[in-house]
């Protein structure tokens, strides 16, 4: 086959690390609060002192099970921690307590919207979810030109969520990460705050000729911490690997890093230099026997998950799948929608305002719905005013701006700012007469057959009224007047 005519497709598998929503660490009572002064949240256990013994935080297991259920995994009846041995200055014990051959949960899936999949939905399979402790952090940016180690993060609980290599584009990878992040938040397992590093991801990428079923050799880009970087790192890796294959070379299995400044990935270590972690069962912790009754109790406590919510929204509010996906992207947004619809029943109109004006404002400022001043009842009251003809759709945009920033009663805002729609005929006729009198050329043009000028007159009247004239009435009165 001619090498140049071969088309390649990406194959992507992701490993996500999510910090659990627990106030204390996984094997000791130290706090997990973000941003504390270096080494202020440490004790002999997380410092790795000799002779200390870890005690497992039960809540971490409960949150891991929650996430396992939310992703349709089988929860292991019997799981075990393992030591992963390696040396690094931020790892005082010389090993990380993780899980290896007996993880907490296995064989789940996450549903994503994908254009390439039939019916626009795709199930991305999960290999496993396991619990582990985070390492500390090396600091190289001090004024003293020295390196320091902050161990506040050592022993912070993580869920590692490993996907099968089921993703076939950067877009799908990002859709998967967003869906997984939403599940973590819905399940209350993690706040998945990317800025704090509570949700980060290792990106495994390979490419193969379209139609080929065996996988190509992967590279692994470590610790990518934003959706945009994931997208860029995947695109870059595909390009780099394709250039190698087209020249007849072989892709090396290696660990790489995303360099945002230069917009490329750089090699960290190759497979030959890879660690042999010498995993073995953690002797200081007993294996976990997970009670079926406990699993069922947790299952019963789980709130409605986004996929179910989406289905319910489509059925009971008769809104399109696209709307339902966006409206259920966070529990807060979904609640806002439902509360608004309870007060103003046209769900599609509510959805349009939330997806359009409200989300645009929120996204622009990088805010969540919880941070906005507007309340669902206020949006509903404004929509009723549009329906009653008290304000035009255009004026509503102005009212919405005020509500978004300050909240308040839309009727009062309209009154105070004099925004009510002008429907009074005598006032409108007066405006129309003024407009016709001051545009004699256009008036003559209209009379000689240029009927398109009607739009010009409507526009002028609207302008004169400061956008408040009722456009339907203006139109009708103008036609009457112009014969
Ligand atoms: P490791 O710890 O060595 O990275 P894991 O098995 O924990 O190995 O994780 C491997 C990740 O890489 C999984 O997400 C898997 O889906 C993905 N993966 C494995 N093989 C390939 C491949 N050929 N191309 C792309 N991704 C792959
Ligand atoms: Mg890996
Ligand atoms: Zn501690």
DSSP labels, 268-303: EEEGGG------EE-TTSPPEE--HHHHHHHHHHPP
- Residue 334 within a domain: yes
Are residues 292 and 437 located together in one domain of the fold? Answer: no
Residue 164 CB less than 6 A away from ligand 1: yes
Q: What is the predicted pLDDT for the residue at 120?
A: 73
How many other C-beta atoms are found inside a 10 Å radius of the C-beta of residue 335? 14
Based on the fold, state whether residues 181 and 316 are members of the same structural domain.
Answer: no
CA of residue 245 to ligand 1 center, whole Å? 20
For the cut 70, the answer to whether the pLDDT of residue 4 exceeds it is no
Residues 231 and 265 both lie in one domain = yes
In angstroms, how far is CA 190 from the centroid of its own chain? 13
Does the residue 352 lie in any domain? yes
**Does 404 lie in the same domain as 432?**
no
DSSP 460: H
Q: Does residue 167 register a pLDDT over 50? A: yes
Residue 54 CA to ligand 1 center (angstroms) comes to 30
pLDDT of 466: 80
For 63-92, write each residue's pLDDT tens digit. Answer: 999 999 999 999 999 999 999 999 999 999
Instruction: Please identify, by atom number, the ligand 1 atom nearest to the C-alpha of residue 166.
Output: 16
Mutate to test the pocket of ligand 1, among 162, 245, 277 (most ligand atoms within 8 A of CB): 162
Last residue of a domain, one of 296, 321, 336: 296
Q: Tell me the pLDDT of the chain averaged across its residues.
A: 92
Question: Same domain, yes or no, for 324 and 355?
Answer: yes
**Is there a single domain that holds both residue 257 and residue 344?**
no
Examine residue 2 and state whether it is found in any structural domain, yes or no: no
Q: Is the CB of 215 under 6 A from ligand 1?
A: yes
Say whether both 455 and 385 belong to one domain. no
Q: Whose C-alpha lies nearest to ligand 1, atom 17?
A: 13
Q: Are residues 287 and 309 in the same domain?
A: no
Judgement on whether residues 309 and 257 belong to the same structural domain of the protein: no
Task: Pick the more confident residue, 415 or 104.
Answer: 104
Mean per-residue pLDDT, 119-143: 91
Which residue CA neighbors atom 6 of ligand 1 most closely? 162
**Domain-terminating residue out of 360, 387, 417:** 417
Return the pLDDT at 277. Answer: 92
Q: Where does a domain end: 267, 296, 325?
A: 296
313 with 282, same domain: the answer is no
- Measured in Å, residue 28 CA sits from the centre of ligand 2 at 27
Give the pLDDT score at 3.
Answer: 55
Same domain, 395 and 462: no
- Residue 253 counted as domain residue: yes
Q: How far is CA 219 from CA 11, 203, 240, 340, 416, in A?
A: 11, 8, 11, 47, 62
Give CA–CA dist 19/468, Å, rounded: 52
Find the CATH number of the domain harbouring 430.
1.10.10.410
Residues 233 and 365 in one domain: no
- Is there a domain that residue 443 lies in? yes
* Closest ligand (CA of 160): 1
Check pocket membership of 230 for ligand 1, CB cut-off 6 A. no
Q: Quote the pLDDT of residue 1.
A: 47
Residues near ion ligand 3 (CB < 5 Å) are 28, 30, 43, 45-46
Number of domains in the chain: 3
Q: Is residue 221 part of a domain?
A: yes
* 205 Cα nearest atom in ligand 1: 25
**pTM attached to this predicted model:** 0.83
Q: Comparing 5 with 182, which gets the higher pLDDT?
A: 182
pLDDT at 218 over 80: yes
307 CB under 6 A from ligand 1?
A: no
367-392 in b/e form (b: 16+ CB < 10 A) is eebeebebebebbbbbbebbeeebbb
Q: Dihedral sign for Cα 379, 383, 388, 392, please.
A: positive
Residue 15 domain flag: yes
Domain assignment of residue 204, given as a range = 8-296
Residue 449 lies in a domain: yes
Would you say the CB of residue 162 lies under 6 angstroms from ligand 1?
yes
Q: Which own/partner pairs from 84-91 qualify as long-range (CB within 8 Å, at least 24 positions apart)?
A: 84/132, 84/277, 84/279, 85/277, 85/278, 85/279, 86/275, 86/277, 88/135, 89/138, 89/147, 89/149, 90/135, 90/136, 90/137, 90/138, 90/149, 90/151, 90/154, 91/48, 91/135, 91/136, 91/154
Binding site membership of 168 for ligand 1 (Cβ less than 6 Å): no
């Amino acid at each position: 086959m001619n090498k140049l005519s071969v088309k390649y497709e990406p194959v992507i598998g992701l490993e996500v690390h999510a910090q659990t929503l627990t106030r204390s660490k996984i094997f000791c009572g130290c706090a997990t609060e973000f941003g504390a002064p270096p080494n202020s949240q440490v004790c002999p256990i997380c410092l790795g002192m000799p002779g200390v013994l870890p005690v497992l935080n039960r809540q971490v297991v409960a949150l891991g099970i929650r996430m396992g259920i939310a992703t349709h995994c089988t929860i292991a009846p019997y799981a075990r921690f393992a030591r992963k041995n390696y040396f690094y200055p931020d790892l005082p014990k010389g090993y990380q307590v993780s899980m290896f051959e007996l993880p907490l949960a296995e064989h789940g899936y996450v549903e994503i919207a994908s254009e390439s999949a039939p019916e626009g939905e795709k199930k991305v399979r999960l290999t496993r979810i396991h619990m582990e402790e985070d390492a500390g952090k090396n600091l190289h940016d001090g004024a003293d030109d020295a390196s320091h180690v902050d161990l506040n993060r050592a022993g912070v609980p993580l869920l590692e969520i490993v996907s099968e290599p089921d993703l076939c584009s950067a877009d799908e990878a990002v859709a998967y990460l967003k869906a997984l992040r939403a599940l973590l938040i819905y399940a209350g397992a993690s706040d998945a705050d990317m800025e704090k590093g509570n949700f980060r991801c290792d990106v495994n990428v390979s490419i193969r000729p379209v139609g080929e079923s065996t996988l190509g050799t992967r590279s692994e880009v470590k610790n990518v911490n934003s959706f945009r970087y994931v997208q860029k790192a995947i695109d870059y890796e595909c390009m780099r690997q394709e250039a190698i294959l087209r020249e007849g070379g072989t892709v090396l299995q290696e660990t790489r890093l995303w360099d945002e400044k230069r917009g490329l990935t750089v090699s960290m270590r190759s497979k030959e230099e890879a660690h042999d972690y010498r995993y073995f069962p953690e002797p200081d912790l007993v294996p976990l026997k997970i009670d079926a009754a406990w699993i069922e109790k947790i299952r019963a406590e789980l709130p409605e998950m986004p996929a179910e919510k989406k289905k319910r929204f489509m059925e009971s509010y008769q809104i399109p799948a696209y709307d339902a996906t966006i409206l259920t992207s966070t529990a807060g947004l979904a609640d806002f929608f439902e509360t608004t619809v309870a007060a103003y029943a046209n769900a599609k109109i509510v959805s349009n305002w939330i997806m359009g004006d409200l989300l645009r404002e929120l996204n622009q400022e990088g805010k969540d719905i919880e941070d906005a001043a507007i309340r669902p009842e206020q949006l509903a009251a404004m929509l009723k005013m549009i329906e009653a003809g008290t304000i035009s759709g255009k004026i509503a945009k102005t009212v919405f701006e005020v509500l978004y920033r300050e909240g308040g009663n839309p009727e009062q805002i309209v009154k105070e700012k004099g925004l009510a729609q002008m429907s009074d005929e005598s006032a409108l006729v007066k405006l129309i007469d003024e407009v016709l009198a001051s545009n004699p050329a256009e008036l003559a043009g209209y009379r000689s057959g240029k009927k398109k000028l009607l739009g010009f007159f409507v526009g002028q009247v609207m302008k004169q009224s400061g956008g408040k004239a009722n456009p339907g009435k203006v139109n009708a009165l103008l036609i009457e007047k112009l014969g």
